[in-house]
Amino acid sequence: MKKIVMIISLALLLALGAFFLWGGAKKENLVSVHIIGDSTMADYVENTTRTRGWGEMLQSFFSPQVEVLNYARGGRSSHSFYKEGRWQKVTEQLQEGDYVFIQFAHNDEKEGGKDGADFRGTAPWTTYKHYLETYVDESRAHGATPVFITPIIRRYFTKDGSISPKGCHDLSVAPDDSTLNYVRVMKHVARHKKVQLVDMTALTKDYAETLGKDSTTKCIYVPTDGTHTQATGAAEYARLAVQGLKAQGILSEYIREDIPLLVNPSSLSFHTIFEAENAMLCFDLVGLNLQPQEGCLTIKAPKGMLIADDPHAAPQASLSYDYRDGRLWNKCFYLHYQPTKAGQVKTHVR
């Protein structure tokens, strides 16, 4: 069967000695979405790790009228995020009509359901509950709408192929005991505070169990890590999140859940480049629903630049990949640029 070839030309605006953006300048009248949480949501420096947070991918699933501001940081619990002054920085930016997406639990579990000396571990029904309520109350005090996002699962499969209770953030021993069930606490606060909630724990549990242990390990999570996602996993989980939002009528008019191809990050910067210096930037390309479902994807670097799929590989003018089922899994690319003269170099979207 003859393969259909899809060609992607990288859209770049380069400014030597300044910066360039993928996606254009900031627009007025944005709806701002502030997201707070831990490393499973956080932004990462693409050149240094294959780990990606699902919050890092969230902007791609909204129209340009929505601006996602990611305050999530690794190692933070509901308690430490507040104590370190990170929440104060968020509230300083909150305006009437903004949204605050709240996801905590991974680090709240650090002390096995007890309060920790470093503010990471939290007792579910006291400290954890208190800070969830605090985020809700203070968001509303600033005119913003809080939304709870329950934590994504840990990749803890049982022998029967299901995700274990601990993988779903329930540290309780007995099946009918909710004493150490962090998701249950968040749902309890949501009911009593009348906060809309997206059950990402259930959504990611169903997704991982359907995909299976081997594929989930290889394609969704960092293979040596049962908590953090790779680029495709982060993108898929971000899509699950917006599907959950849309189902509840939250920002529905701005959601684009069926994007075929995701580029991360949405903005890049070479900063200052000297003549003859070989500069390199890294970005992810994730195929989520490519059409046709089977074919060949060719990625062409802009004129005067080269591209590679490994930081140590010889860069080329273009690269091609066969894909199936509309998917391109966890592809990380390295864009090389060696200017030969001073000035600005610009390309445009094709």
> Residues 226, 315: one domain?
no
Residues 291 and 310 occupy one common structural domain:
yes
Write down the pLDDT at residue 144. 99
Say if 82 falls within a structural domain: yes
Asked which of 254, 280, 303 is the last residue of a domain, the reply is 254
- Are 144 and 179 in the same domain? yes
- What is the predicted pLDDT for the residue at 49? 87
**Which of 254, 289, 308 is the C-terminal boundary of a domain?**
254
DSSP H or E segment with residue 137: helix 129-141
Q: Are 297 and 290 a contacting pair, CB within 8 Å?
A: yes
- The answer to whether residues 313 and 283 belong to one domain is yes
Residue 61 C-beta-side C-alpha neighbours within 13 Å:
26
- 112 shares its domain with 172: yes
pLDDT at 310: 92
Each residue of 137-154: pLDDT tens digit? 999 999 999 999 999 999
In terms of domains, do 107 and 81 share one?
A: yes
Domain count, the chain: 2
Neighbours of 276 (CB within 10 A): 9
How much is the pLDDT for 73? 98
pLDDT for the residue 344: 63
Ramachandran sector of residue 210 (left: φ over 0; alpha: ψ -120 to 50; beta: rest) = alpha
99 and 145 inside one domain: yes
Say if residue 124 is in the same domain as residue 247. yes
pLDDT on residue 174: 81
In a domain, 260, yes or no: no
d(C-alpha 184, C-alpha 55), whole Å? 22
* Pair (240, 289) in one structural domain: no
259 falls within a domain: no
Beta strands, E only, the chain? 5-9, 20-21, 31-36, 66-70, 99-102, 145-149, 196-198, 261-264, 267-268, 279-287, 295-300, 305-308, 318-323, 328-337
| Strand partners for 332 | 284
Q: What is the pLDDT of residue 177?
A: 82
* Residue 95 domain boundaries: 27-254
Per residue in 300-319, pLDDT tens? 998 888 999 998 999 999 99
What is the per-residue pLDDT across 192-245, written as a single tens digit (0 to 9) for each?
999 999 999 999 999 999 999 999 999 999 988 999 999 999 999 999 999 999
pLDDT for position 271: 66
Has residue 220 been placed in a domain? yes
In this structure, the answer to whether residues 210 and 135 fall within a common structural domain is yes
Mark whether 289 and 340 lie in a shared domain: yes
Task: Report the length, in residues, of the chain.
Answer: 350
The segments of the chain whose pLDDT lies below 50 read 1-26, 347-350
Query: Is 261 inside any structural domain?
Result: no
How confident is the model at residue 48, as a pLDDT?
Answer: 77
pLDDT of residue 1: 37
CATH number for position 200: 3.40.50.1110
Q: Quick one: 219 and 339 in the same domain? A: no
